[in-house]
Structure 1
Amino acid sequence: MIPHINDSKEEFVDSEVFYPYEKLNNIKWYDRILLNQPLKITIVFIILGIAVPLLLYHFYFFTALNIPPSDGFSIGSCLIPRETRLACGVGQMPEEECHHQCCYDRNLHMCFHRIPSRFSYIIDQPWSDDIVLHPRIATVPFSNQNSIPQVRLSIDEESATHLAITFYNSRNTSFPSKRLSDKEYSYEVGTPEINIAVNASQGTIFNTAGGPLIASDNIWEIAFKLTNETMYGLGEIPLKKNTTKIIYSNDGDMSSIPLIFAKINTSFHGLLIDVNEPTEILVHPGGQIVVRSITNYGLKFHLFVGPEPKGIMEDVMKIIGHHKQLEYWMLGIHNFENAFANTPQWNLSLVNDNQLYLFKHNTYGNDFAKAFAKKDNSTPIWSSSLWMNGGFAINRQNIDASWTNLHRELIAAALGGISGHWLWSSPICGDTENFNHTTQSNLCVKWYLAATYFPMIKIHSRKYMRYPTAFNGTHRSIIIEALNRRLGLLPYFYTTLQEGPLLRPMFYQFPLSEALHDIDTQFSVGDSLLVVPNLTPFQSHVHMWLPPGTWYELWSGLKLEANEGDPITMMTAEADFLTFIKGGSILIYQKEAQSTAESTQFLTPFSVIIALECTTDNETSVCQASGKQFITKNMSLVFVANDTNMTITADGKDFDPICDIGSGFWAYDIQFINIYGMDEEMNNYDNYRQLNTFVDLCHLETDEEIVVNLLS
């Protein structure tokens, strides 16, 4: 407004004038905040730092009420990230069915345990084997059944590397336990809410970590952690998280020992779940192992320190035993017109010895084998659905013919072997009616090639004929050639199976080579061979990750040039099953197969492949290789070679099997020797030197050694 002169005659009074700055005296507090820029920024940060996290907790964790318990023990928190929550009871359920001592997520409709869980057992004094544990909560979150009022914990120091942990109903029995002064582990039992932690040189190898321990007359549950890293077993390499496995002797079960190999850095430890009743094993996304069993007895676990997978397997086999009377003919081909019968379906209403039948179901295979042995006064070689018993050959059954199952069977055979079942069999092309002879012939061919390296080779022809002569043309030729090649490799297989499993995963054979641990597409065969199968239709190449050492293609002598852990791409064909031999090995085999394993063993001369491992020392090349051929438990042949000579000696004096005309059952001579890794100018074939000779092994009856000149 334009200023103007006041025309009033009255005197201008200054106090009557209302100045704008006087309005500041009447500004409200919220106006001051809105007008103050630094204060606004401060308030925004306070909201972001406090209110937003509270909202995230509300919507992401969404807890039940944390009402302090009346027993005076830990409250437990429901503020648990969703990926680490353990289901309380069956998990997914309406809120009104969730046990009042659990937490509940209204968004996911999930009932879950607090951390630490309120479902635990407590003791009011330092733990010992004879102390009785009492449940903290009188009921369990499975239909609010009553908790078993008296439970005991037994910790048995079985050996320096083997610890047994047993939770059991103290009303039924009691377990004395051993204590050792010299052991490679230590353990602590926390009180008053029980918690078990086992430590070894590699770190903590078992920890219940405040998880639930639930015991009732119908179901037991426990949760624990073995490692924050990778695990292997239960049919998978590696064992995937969010996976559920069922231990149950019937269609679809694991048909193997429930053994888990857990890794910490490059060290391994193992856990064997020793239960007889139907049991569920959950590998939780958070890394916990949750074991639930339909049992009224309890839960038992064997913990093995390792630190190598081989040591774990050896400890397991001390528990389960294994078949020590391997007969050579067992490695041949077995064709069954009818598959072994499945174990009967379990039934809650079927009573057996005053128990529900489901509590006895998993022992069916062993009970059958014992009854057969008692009646026939002999030990059966195969029995169906054996449980925790290495004394028989596993009868793998109910396998559909598919490319996926072929891969699974290779993994299962490898894991089964290192779990203690060295005599593992898998039905070639499956054994169910899910088989199409027209469309799955290529699959069957590949399955026969893979079965070349199985400990036991078994063909089921119950309804659909899957034996070799049921195929035509090229398919039949490839299958017969694969089976003949297997017969030729049986001397090596027979020797390997005296001391260890045949088919082996990479993490077992090369525990120090971390780049190979998770690979499930290549397998060791004993210590000297490696197979890299093509496991998809019309596959034209395979990827191989090179293990430590020098490697040659088994039949051509081609040397692989790469560093440890490097991927190598190799061409393959429908009839190929790429096989490699490790430098430093001597392989004894029989080149020309006869009609059976036993006739090949007796009539076909030995052949030898020497794969040299050469190193340079002070600019001098040193090459060496060694191997062994098991003849009987009283004698083996020992082979040692360099790039000029091979020396053969006998470990033992039982020469009758190879030299006695009337009772001998082994070949007595060597006629072909191939040498891999020599200087190129020494080769008389593309990648190797071949020597046609005659070596009479019976000279060892009178001579201490036989020396063969490899340059003659």
Structure 2
Amino acid sequence: MATNASWLQEQNREREDYKNEGKYQRRITFKGIICNKIVKGWIFLTIFATVVPVLVYYFVVDQGTYKTNNSSTCSIKSEFRVPCGKINISSADCEKIHCCFELSTETCYHYLPSKYSYDFDENTNGYVAVQKSTPYDSASIQKLNISINEINENKVSIILHEDTVDVSTNTLNSAKNYKVKIADEKLIVEVYRSEDDDLLLSTAKGPLIASNNYSEWSFYLTNQTLLGLNQTLITVDENSTFNAVIYKNNYDHYTLPVFWAYKNKQFHGIVIKHDGPMEITILPSYMVILKSLTGGKIEVELSVGPTPTLLHDQQLVAQNIPSYWTMDTYMCRRGDNVNLTQLIKEYSLDLQATSDCIHENLLAAMMKDNGTNLQGVRGILGQLKEQGIKFLLSVPPQIFGNTTDLYKEAVSLDVLYKYNSTIYKGKYLKQDVVYPDYGHSKIQSYLKAFSTFLVTYIDIEDIDGFVLNANWPANDNYRISNLSFPYFTEDLREAMSNTLPWNSTLNNGSVLHLQKHNTYGYDQLTSMKTYFNSTNPNIFVTSASDTFGDGRPTIIQNVNASWSNLYSHIDNVLFNSIVGNHLVNTPVCGDTAVYDSVIQETLCIRWYLVAATMPAFRIGSTEPWRDPENLNTAFATQTVQRAIQRRKMFLPYYYTLLSRNEPALRPMFYDYYENTTTFSMKHQYMIGENILIAHPLSSGRTKLQVYLPSRIGVWYELWGGKMYNSTGEAWIDIDVVETDFVAFVSQGSVLPLRTDNIFNFIVALNCTSKICEASGTLFEESYLNFNATDTAITISGIPQNCNFTLENVTLYHYTNVSIVTYYTNKNASLCSGEDNITIDYTTESEDGIFI
């Protein structure tokens, strides 16, 4: 721990916009002129006569609360002002709660430094609340502390907690890439980069407020570029704020409390760890304000980067490589119907799908069926297995009905949520339901009863995986109306409705759901994995609601079809991908009833083309159906089927990236942040390092502007090989139509495209040296390596038991103009029993002639 005795002076210097630094530097260059005594006198008189009256008016007349005898000040740039107290508060009430008021905008905001802080008290040898109550009249927690947990040389946790709460901490004796400083006089922490003393995080610019049902903590990460809350670039207008609520709900069950910051050409990032409902506000200055309704412990885990790749690796929890089939086309219809007879009658096998759920309500319908349709379910599963289609069972968290043996076992085990000491009954799919607590100590016994119920309809070995849907958990008949919280906004009201009541209880009433809500989905996922992995270690389990760090794909639900939603979901997917959710996906063409199959056909085609670039692919909706066979025209059906087939060729490439624990999808700045223009690009992105994808994200577009990073000297159009030299002007305009799959490949790349066991190679040569060459890798059971020139390709690492054949090689080459040459053969075998093989494009082989 280090002291920072001059932090007040530093904060007063920094309370203005950092953009002024440039002005100060320019002033120094005129030092000789300014130091002239006559000039200095005139400058002083001019400033005094013009500036001082303005400042007096601004501070005294307009704001009305400026006090010259107080170390705190109200003279804060508007973009740094942290709101204080209730909305529409009066000037008098604002002053009563020790905050500043501006008459022109009628806003109440905190002083700098805020008068809400925790100062060191020598009598108690701890940090004590300056104010006895919060701005919302709740009693302040009297003593707080900040603990530092040094995880490794690149990662550190800052934990805010009550003084009486013990937290696990660690201090590293080895060298670290960060320095942590805590001020003696106030409970303020700052983290610096060891190499250059660059400030990475500061809590000095906002208030620190803590009570049993409200806490507020602010931190500052950068004055340049901020990313987070599923946004690859957070932009805040000068007179507005950006707000998000972290409380899993119908329409926002996948936002992660993760931020990346870019400053001085380097990246760093944080993960916020807090179980209760939290509202996060971003000011125009990029100050981040956390407001929690539960108080308690808040942890901020900081990683130092400094590159996007290193930051990704530091935040990533080690992951197992998923089974290859989990990237295949997944089909799952939705709706309100829970009549099993009707679901079976309506079901038709979709041969475009390689995995299927029959219907998202299958399990609910089985719970309501009482064994009537056993043979119907088994018959459909038999069809799936005959076609080689994987079966994924959708599992909502709720128990339907109150007469089944499963319900009775849950009651006996006392694992159900309660309200006013009785079992809480909610509504889902217009049915009465109850809710198990998946974090309960007896939940494994409940899952044993659940498994027993399943086998009456489905053999467990026929289940390839579970999809945990609506597990925020969904509840149709609850809308929060009480005003028990001192701080409450409409955003919080929306987020805390249509789920379990916040004051429903578990563990015999000792724990409120409010405290566990955000981990409900994660508890279901981990408990299901624990139980079913014991008998089938390879069973796949994924969830609609998860917490940061597990790395499982999040199933996104309740998305209306619109161009704006497609645009925003690309952004969401890109950010999720680089913070660890590698199997990203989007609900193709939306999944709600808000969809017009005629008017929105172009949108749906583009949505398929976007989804075809992602490692996970999910088609599932209510009526009208949006699977290929049910689109409005034969043209649309054929177009999206081609997109699915083209995507299938890239699955080995995606799988190779996943095997290296790399994000398959990545925003442009991930690899090319040296050009800060890439931060705002959302219509184009990368698949790995070598493939650039671009989309027209509106209807009727005939032109598309694409940025080709100049670090790569030449980009080839992926499907035709047209060469684009990006060393000069990096922006190009291309003609597009609604069915175009716009993609480019970087020079020096070998792209191995595989369908079943047949390979096709795209060789994008780099001819900047005397030898034209390219390379690539592919992960099968081990890594295959490819090295190519303009005359031959060498493949090494070939497994002994392989059965690969080569269909063709497509060679992209350049001299002064683009040249595309195709070399084909007749499915030559790549398996000679040797570890490597070299194929000369110009020679005759036993299998055919390259032409």
Structure 1 length-normalised TM: 0.83
* Structure 1 residue identity aligned to 2:747: G
1:607 is aligned to 760
Q: Is the 2:67–2:73 Cα contact (8 Å) retained in structure 1?
A: no
SS in 2 for 1:489: helix
1:537 is aligned to 699
Pick the aligned partner of 2:624 from 464, 474, 482.
464
For 1:648 and 1:151, locate their aligned partners in 2 and report how far apart those are by CA, in whole Å. Answer: 62
Q: CA deviation at 1:506?
A: 0.8
1:183 is aligned to 176
SS in 1 for 2:571: helix
Pick the aligned partner of 2:795 from 636, 648, 666.
648
2:821 is aligned to 688
Q: CA deviation at 1:286?
A: 2.1
1:204 is aligned to 199
For 1:532 and 1:176, locate their aligned partners in 2 and report how far apart those are by CA, in whole Å. Answer: 46
1:698 is aligned to 831
- Any residues of structure 2 matched to 1:309-348 within 5 Å, and which? 309-318=308-317, 321-322=318-319, 324-338=320-334, 339=360, 340-342=469-471, 343-344=473-474, 345-348=499-502
Q: After TM superposition, which residue ranges in structure 1, 4 or more long, deviate above 4 angstroms? A: 42-47, 64-68, 678-681
Q: Is the 2:253–2:544 Cα contact (8 Å) retained in structure 1?
A: no
Q: 1:214-251 CA distances to partner (integer Å, 9 max, x unpaired)?
A: 11111221112111101122222321122112212112
Say if 1:51 and 1:429 are closer, same or farther in 2 by CA, change over 3 A. same
1:553 is aligned to 717
Q: CA deviation at 1:50?
A: 3.5
2:556 is aligned to 396
Q: CA deviation at 1:131?
A: 7.2
1:627 is aligned to 776
Say if 1:575 and 1:178 are closer, same or farther in 2 by CA, change over 3 A. same
Q: State yes or no: 1:217 paired with 2:212.
A: yes
1:38 is aligned to none
SS in 1 for 2:586: strand
Percent identical pairs in the alignment equals 27
Q: State yes or no: 1:371 paired with 2:527.
A: yes
* Structure 1 residue identity aligned to 2:760: S
1:104 is aligned to 101
For 1:527 and 1:56, locate their aligned partners in 2 and report how far apart those are by CA, in whole Å. Answer: 52
Say if 1:695 and 1:154 are closer, same or farther in 2 by CA, change over 3 A. farther
1:357 is aligned to 513
1:95 is aligned to 91
SS in 1 for 2:772: strand
- Any residues of structure 2 matched to 1:234-313 within 5 Å, and which? 234-241=229-236, 242-253=241-252, 255-313=254-312
1:677 is aligned to 813
Q: State yes or no: 1:579 paired with 2:579.
A: no
Say if 1:463 and 1:79 are closer, same or farther in 2 by CA, change over 3 A. same
SS in 2 for 1:371: helix
1:514 is aligned to 676
1:709 is aligned to 840
- Identify the range of structure 1 (115-124 vs 529-538) with the bigger mean alpha-carbon deviation: 115-124
Q: 1:355-411 CA distances to partner (integer Å, 9 max, x unpaired)?
A: 332221111111111332344345542212112242422111111100011111111
SS in 2 for 1:123: strand
Q: State yes or no: 1:228 paired with 2:197.
A: no
For 1:496 and 1:50, locate their aligned partners in 2 and report how far apart those are by CA, in whole Å. Answer: 61
Q: Is the 1:166–1:298 Cα contact (8 Å) retained in structure 2?
A: yes
Aligned residues: 625
Q: 1:420-465 CA distances to partner (integer Å, 9 max, x unpaired)?
A: 1011221101111211122111111110011001121101133320
Q: 1:104-160 CA distances to partner (integer Å, 9 max, x unpaired)?
A: 2233332211101121112257xxxx974322222111x221111222211111111
SS in 2 for 1:310: helix
* Structure 2 residue identity aligned to 1:489: F
For 2:249 and 2:69, locate their aligned partners in 1 and report how far apart those are by CA, in whole Å. Answer: 45
Say if 1:489 and 1:626 are closer, same or farther in 2 by CA, change over 3 A. same
Of structures 1 and 2, the larger Rg is shown by: 1
For 2:321 and 2:470, locate their aligned partners in 1 and report how far apart those are by CA, in whole Å. Answer: 25
SS in 2 for 1:89: coil
Say if 1:59 and 1:540 are closer, same or farther in 2 by CA, change over 3 A. farther
Q: Is the 1:66–1:78 Cα contact (8 Å) retained in structure 2?
A: no
Q: 1:69-109 CA distances to partner (integer Å, 9 max, x unpaired)?
A: xxxxxx31112233321112345423344353222223333
- Any residues of structure 2 matched to 1:121-140 within 5 Å, and which? 121-124=118-121, 132-140=126-134
RMSD of Structure 2 on Structure 1 (CA): 2.5
Q: State yes or no: 1:486 paired with 2:647.
A: yes
For 2:613 and 2:812, locate their aligned partners in 1 and report how far apart those are by CA, in whole Å. Answer: 22
For 1:281 and 1:564, locate their aligned partners in 2 and report how far apart those are by CA, in whole Å. Answer: 42
1:11 is aligned to none
Q: Is the 1:91–1:112 Cα contact (8 Å) retained in structure 2?
A: no
For 2:153 and 2:88, locate their aligned partners in 1 and report how far apart those are by CA, in whole Å. Answer: 43
Q: CA deviation at 1:209?
A: 2.5
1:145 is aligned to 138
For 2:54 and 2:679, locate their aligned partners in 1 and report how far apart those are by CA, in whole Å. Answer: 43
SS in 2 for 1:394: coil
SS in 1 for 2:190: strand
* Structure 1 residue identity aligned to 2:767: C
For 2:826 and 2:656, locate their aligned partners in 1 and report how far apart those are by CA, in whole Å. Answer: 24
For 1:151 and 1:177, locate their aligned partners in 2 and report how far apart those are by CA, in whole Å. Answer: 19
Q: CA deviation at 1:303?
A: 0.8
Q: CA deviation at 1:533?
A: 0.6
Say if 1:711 and 1:348 are closer, same or farther in 2 by CA, change over 3 A. same
Q: CA deviation at 1:645?
A: 2.1
Say if 1:138 and 1:46 are closer, same or farther in 2 by CA, change over 3 A. closer
2:54 is aligned to 52
Q: 1:167-203 CA distances to partner (integer Å, 9 max, x unpaired)?
A: 0123343323232421111121112012222111361
Pick the aligned partner of 1:164 from 147, 151, 157.
157
Q: Is the 1:586–1:608 Cα contact (8 Å) retained in structure 2?
A: yes
For 2:730 and 2:574, locate their aligned partners in 1 and report how far apart those are by CA, in whole Å. Answer: 23
Structure 2 length-normalised TM: 0.70
Q: 1:476-531 CA distances to partner (integer Å, 9 max, x unpaired)?
A: 11011101101111111111121211111011122333332322221001121110
2:26 is aligned to none
Say if 1:404 and 1:53 are closer, same or farther in 2 by CA, change over 3 A. same
For 1:79 and 1:650, locate their aligned partners in 2 and report how far apart those are by CA, in whole Å. Answer: 67
- Any residues of structure 2 matched to 1:57-68 within 5 Å, and which? 57-63=59-65, 68=70
* Structure 2 residue identity aligned to 1:205: L
Say if 1:92 and 1:175 are closer, same or farther in 2 by CA, change over 3 A. farther
For 1:555 and 1:454, locate their aligned partners in 2 and report how far apart those are by CA, in whole Å. Answer: 18
* Structure 2 residue identity aligned to 1:369: L
SS in 2 for 1:477: helix
1:525 is aligned to 687
Q: CA deviation at 1:65?
A: 5.0
Q: State yes or no: 1:154 paired with 2:318.
A: no
SS in 2 for 1:421: coil
SS in 1 for 2:222: coil
Say if 1:331 and 1:348 are closer, same or farther in 2 by CA, change over 3 A. closer
